[in-house]
Amino acid sequence: MDPFESYLQYQKEVAESKLKIINRFQKGIKPKLKRTSKIEIAKNVLNIAGRPLHVSEIIQLAKRDFEVEMDRDSIVSAILKKVKAGKSFIRTSPNTFALKEDDSNERGSHDK
């Protein structure tokens, strides 16, 4: 296959892929997103905030930014388990949490 034929084949495949995506959106079929745990969402909220947040703020931001409803008692319980295990979170005051330094720095280094 000569270079021009290869180029045409490439352009054809790109166009077909675009058409499939357009058709999916026209039919209202949204691509499935990877499921994210609520503890990961809490980590993301804290990472974005860059400061300690009260659990009510975490819940509010998770709803606003990630469209996820969180049960107050279950998210506090899950975060406290991580705090007690020394993983990911620290408690800065009652019902207020932050990411451990190594976790927030690690996340920042992955983003660069």
Which SS3 state, helix, strand or coil, does residue 31 take? Answer: coil
- Residue labelled with tokens 């300690």: 52
Q: How far apart are CA 11 and CA 70, in angstroms?
A: 45
pLDDT tens by residue, 63-95: 998 888 999 999 999 999 999 999 999 999 999
Q: Read off the pLDDT of residues 13-63 as tens digits, 9 standing for 90 and up.
A: 989 888 888 877 777 755 555 667 899 999 999 999 999 999 999 999 999
Output the pTM of the full model: 0.61
The pLDDT score that the predictor gives to residue 110 is 44
H or E stretch at 74: helix 72-85
